[in-house]
């Protein structure tokens, strides 16, 4: 297999390379932030070099301990979580974790989250000088933190302001990760695009709640959580579909992708790349299985270039 | 660490709701250490979605077999209990940090509360291989939940039962019984309340101990930070450790109890 053409299977050539706002990916399959740690956790199970991109756990300026437990509860065909952005902070990330990824041939995208707009600017500037960072994914959609997080992602003007500040702090491609917990995701996407974003990630988790019948209290230590997994997929495909029609930015589609069929659905709706999140918990090799399934679909349907499929459902 | 399809050899309901399942999984049997767990895919469909972490209960390296001992607690474990001889089960593991070996001298104890004997039985198998014999304090709500007493004695260990209702052995908690028979090293597993009081006793008498914890898990490999447990090391504030990789076995003094 050569990285650029994605390989030759049964004599058919399939071109899998995509570009996300300036980030060249050898194939469209990435990992979703927060579900894949810093990559090394999954290295025993898959060859990380075969991923289209690695999106690491959300990083903040200062270390964060995270939310009280329980942090996770399974719901019907889904998972509700409230981790609370537990992370070692940007300095330890750059000093201790990032170097471990240097040996891999794949774009590393760093998810950043702040309490304030200034936090985002500082994170962008700090990571701009860090070697081995292909781009930033701006988390304005975390439902599990008290300050910042989703509130930046639910107000179009604030979303735009965060985008501008990050763009001013870095020359690297900036991907803005959108929240589905808004009245109009298109309105947010339009503002973020106008503010200079290079690409969009969508969707983050859906705000949810599970209540324990015995204790009559929320199950999660933090109360509310973010819903992911197959249960949210139609919502995510819809969001990608709507935004693709109105905003001319490449989209990394995510939300409940388990199989190649799920991934192709996102691509047909308008996603240029896809990210797998909860699927990694079920099957540590899910990204590789999805990649193989996409190739198979392309060969069976005589699709030479994955880019031909992007947004095809609109045509 | 690997992903594999294990084949069910035997599924046995020890008492209603408590199952011992033996699987053929040679690599796991070869590599597993006491205290480690398997992350088990209970459903083939997408609901229930997540794997279930289940302690490795016993290992037969010669036969390449691994046993799990579990209680049906919800939809996942109910599906697991429905698996029959010959069925395939997708497992991930062995995962996690297990028990460390006791120091060569000194008396060793094991304290188990109910289903908490699950990982400790594997430890007792390994201890008897190195000719180390433990006092095993088996606690349960009632007599019929004192699991595997005769098997444990057959391994050469001494069993001290305790029941909440007094139907067998000491009438009271397993921790009370242990407190009357202190040792140099203790390994514990059981409900949070039991482990909390065990850890308090260990601290009071300066006894070395390790406890195996249980927490809801997502990935099982350290990536998702769901299975957090508050821990503290000397001279630092608390932090959240991952039960799946820093645990499930922790030094007794490190766990911060709610």
Q: What is the pLDDT of residues A180-206, one digit of tens each?
A: 999 999 999 999 999 999 999 999 999
pLDDT at A144: 67
pLDDT at B110: 97
pLDDT over 50 (residue A4):
no
Q: Considering CB atoms only, which of A57, A77, A79 is closest to B218?
A: A79
pLDDT at A149: 66
> Using 50, 70 and 90 to split pLDDT, how confident is the model at B106?
confident
Phi, psi of A24 (to 5 degrees): -80, 120
pLDDT at B228: 95
Radius of gyration of chain A (CA): 18
H-assigned helices in A99-217? 117-128, 150-154, 156-169, 185-194
CB–CB contact A37 B224 (8 Å) = yes
Query: Read out DSSP for A181-199?
Result: -SS-HHHHHHHHHHTT-SE
pLDDT over 80 (residue A150):
no
CB–CB contact A57 B225 (8 Å) = yes
Rounded distance, CA B58 to CA B22, Å?
A: 9
pLDDT over 80 (residue B225):
yes
Residue corresponding to tokens 């459902």: A313
CB–CB contact A37 B1 (8 Å) = no
For A229, how many CA atoms within 13 A lie in the half-sphere containing its CB?
26
pLDDT over 90 (residue B234):
no
Q: Considering CB atoms only, which of A36, A77, A83 is closest to B46?
A: A77
Per DSSP, the three-state class of B240 is: strand
Is residue A34 within 8 angstroms of chain B, CB to CB? yes
Q: Which residues of B touch A86 (CB under 8 A)?
A: 225, 228, 240
Q: What is the pLDDT of residues B142-194, one digit of tens each?
A: 999 999 999 999 999 999 999 999 999 999 999 999 999 999 999 999 999 99
Rounded distance, CA B148 to CA B161, Å?
A: 11
CATH number, span B108-254: 3.40.50.80
pLDDT over 90 (residue A8):
no
Total Cβ atoms within 10 A of residue A315: 5
CB–CB contact A86 B46 (8 Å) = no
pLDDT at B254: 95
Rounded distance, CA A184 to CA B5, Å?
A: 45
Task: Please state whether beta strands A12-13 and A8-9 pair in parallel, antiparallel, or not at all (unpaired).
Answer: antiparallel
Give percent helix, percent strand, percent coil of chain B, each to the nearest 5. 25, 35, 40
Q: Which of A71, A82, A85 is nearest to A206 (CA)?
A: A82
Task: Tell me the mean pLDDT in the region A279-307.
Answer: 97
Q: Which CATH class is domain B2-95?
A: mainly beta
CB–CB contact B223 A41 (8 Å) = yes
Structure tokens at A18: 């995509």
Q: Which residues of A touch B220 (CB under 8 A)?
A: 281
Identify each DSSP E strand in B147-232 by its residue range.
Answer: 158-163, 170-171, 185-189, 208-212, 228-231
User: Is the Cβ–Cβ distance between A256 and A249 less than 8 Å?
Assistant: no
Q: Which residues of A touch B229 (CB under 8 A)?
A: 69
Structure tokens at A265: 């659905």
End-to-end alpha carbon distance in chain A: 32
Rounded distance, CA A203 to CA A191, Å?
A: 16
End-to-end alpha carbon distance in chain B: 32
Structure tokens at A219: 């199950």
Could you give the number of structural domains in chain A? 1
Is residue A60 within 8 angstroms of chain B, CB to CB? no
**Domain-by-domain residue ranges, chain B?**
2-95, 108-254
Please state which of the ranges A104-108, B87-91, B104-108 shows the lowest mean pLDDT: B104-108
Task: Tell me the mean pLDDT in the region B67-88.
Answer: 96
Q: Which residue of B has its CA nearest to A63?
A: B239
Rounded distance, CA B34 to CA B94, Å?
A: 10
Q: What is the pLDDT of residues A12-54, one digit of tens each?
A: 578 999 999 999 999 999 999 999 999 999 999 999 999 999 9
At CA B31, angle to CA B15 and CA B79, rounded to 5?
Answer: 35
Does residue A220 sit within a domain?
no
pLDDT over 50 (residue A2):
no
Residue partners of A261: CB distance under 8 A and separation at least 6: A293, A297
Calculate how close chain A gets to B189, using CA atoms only, in Å: 19
In chain B, which residues touch A (CB < 8 A)? 1, 3, 41, 46-51, 76, 92, 215-230, 238-240, 245
pLDDT at A94: 97
Rounded distance, CA B98 to CA B118, Å?
A: 13
Rounded distance, CA B63 to CA A63, Å?
A: 47
Does residue A54 sit within a domain?
yes
Q: Which of A267, A261, A257 is nearest to A231 (CA)?
A: A257
**Interface ipTM:** 0.93
Catalytic residues of A: 142
CB–CB contact B224 A35 (8 Å) = yes
pLDDT at B105: 80
CATH number assigned to the domain comprising residue A178: 3.20.20.70
Task: Please state whether beta strands A251-254 and A225-228 pair in parallel, antiparallel, or not at all (unpaired).
Answer: unpaired
pLDDT over 70 (residue A81):
yes
Phi, psi of A277 (to 5 degrees): -120, -90
Structure tokens at A287: 């990204």
Task: Tell me the mean pLDDT in the region A215-236.
Answer: 97
Q: Which residue of B has its CA nearest to A38?
A: B223
Residue A23: exposed, middle, or buried by beta-carbon count in 10 A (0-12, 13-18, 19+)?
Answer: buried
pLDDT over 70 (residue A147):
no
- Domain extent, residue A46, equals 8-66+85-206+229-314
Share of chain B above pLDDT 70, in %: 100
Residue partners of B69: CB distance under 8 A and separation at least 6: B14, B18, B19, B20, B55, B57, B58, B115, B117, B118, B121, B147
> Using 50, 70 and 90 to split pLDDT, how confident is the model at A179?
very high
8-state DSSP, A28: S
> What rounded mean pLDDT belongs to chain B?
95
Q: Considering CB atoms only, which of B49, B228, B230 is closest to A79?
A: B49
pLDDT at A1: 40
CB–CB contact B220 A280 (8 Å) = no
pLDDT over 80 (residue A146):
no
> Using 50, 70 and 90 to split pLDDT, how confident is the model at B140?
very high
pLDDT over 70 (residue A162):
yes
Please state which of the ranges A81-85, A145-149, A297-301, B34-38 shows the lowest mean pLDDT: A145-149
pLDDT over 90 (residue A103):
yes
């Amino acid at each position: 297999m050569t990285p650029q053409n994605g390989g030759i299977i049964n004599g058919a050539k399939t071109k899998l390379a995509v570009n996300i706002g300036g980030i060249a990916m050898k194939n469209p399959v990435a990992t979703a932030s927060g579900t894949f740690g810093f990559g090394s956790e999954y290295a025993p199970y898959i060859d990380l070099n075969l991923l289209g991109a690695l999106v690491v756990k959300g990083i903040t300026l200062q270390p964060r301990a995270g939310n009280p437990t329980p942090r996770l509860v399974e719901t019907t065909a889904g998972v509700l979580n409230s981790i609370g952005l537990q992370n070692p902070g940007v300095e330890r990330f750059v000093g201790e974790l990032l170097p471990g990824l240097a040996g891999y041939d794949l774009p590393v995208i760093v998810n950043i989250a702040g309490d304030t707009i200034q936090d985002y600017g500082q994170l962008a500037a700090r990571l701009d000088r860090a070697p081995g960072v292909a781009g930033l994914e701006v988390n304005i959609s975390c439902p599990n933190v008290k300050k910042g997080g989703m509130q930046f992602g639910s107000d179009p003007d604030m979303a735009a302001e965060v985008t501008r500040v990050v763009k001013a702090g870095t020359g690297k491609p900036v991907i803005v990760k959108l929240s589905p917990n808004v009245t109009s995701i298109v309105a947010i996407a339009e503002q973020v695009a106008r503010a200079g974003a290079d690409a969009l990630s969508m969707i983050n988790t859906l705000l949810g709640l599970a209540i324990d019948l015995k204790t009559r209290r929320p199950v999660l230590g933090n109360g509310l959580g973010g819903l992911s997994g197959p249960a949210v997929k139609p919502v995510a495909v819809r969001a990608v579909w709507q935004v693709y029609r109105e905003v001319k930015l490449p989209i990394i589609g995510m939300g409940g992708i388990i199989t190649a069929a799920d991934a192709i659905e996102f691509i047909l709706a308008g996603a240029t790349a896809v990210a797998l999140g909860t699927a990694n918990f079920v099957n540590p090799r899910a990204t590789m299985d999805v990649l193989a399934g996409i190739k198979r679909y392309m060969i069976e349907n005589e699709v030479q270039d994955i880019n031909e499929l992007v947004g095809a459902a609109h045509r | 660490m690997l992903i594999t399809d294990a084949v069910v050899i035997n599924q046995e309901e020890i008492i209603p709701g408590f199952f011992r399942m033996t699987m053929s999984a040679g690599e796991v049997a070869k590599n597993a250490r006491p205290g480690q767990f398997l992350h088990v895919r209970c459903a083939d469909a997408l609901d229930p979605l997540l794997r279930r972490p289940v302690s490795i209960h016993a290992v037969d390296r010669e036969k390449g077999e691994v046993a799990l001992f579990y209680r049906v607690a919800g939809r996942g474990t109910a599906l697991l209990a429905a698996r029959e001889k010959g069925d395939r089960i997708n497992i991930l593991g062995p995962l996690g940090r297990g028990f460390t070996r006791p120091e060569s001298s000194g008396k060793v104890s094991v304290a188990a509360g109910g289903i908490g004997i699950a990982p400790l039985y594997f430890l007792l198998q390994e201890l008897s291989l190195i000719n180390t014999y433990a006092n095993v304090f088996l606690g349960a709500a009632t007599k019929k939940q004192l699991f595997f007493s005769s098997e444990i004695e057959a391994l050469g260990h001494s069993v001290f039962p305790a029941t909440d209702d007094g139907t067998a052995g000491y009438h009271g908690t397993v921790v009370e019984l242990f407190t009357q028979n202190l040792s140099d090293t203790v390994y514990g597993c059981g409900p949070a309340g039991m482990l909390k009081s065990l850890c308090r006793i260990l601290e009071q008498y300066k006894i070395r101990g390790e406890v195996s914890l249980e927490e809801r898990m997502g990935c099982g490999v350290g990536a998702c930070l769901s299975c957090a447990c508050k821990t503290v090391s000397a001279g630092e504030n608390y932090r959240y450790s991952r039960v799946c990789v820093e645990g499930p076995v922790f030094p007794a003094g490190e766990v911060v109890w709610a």
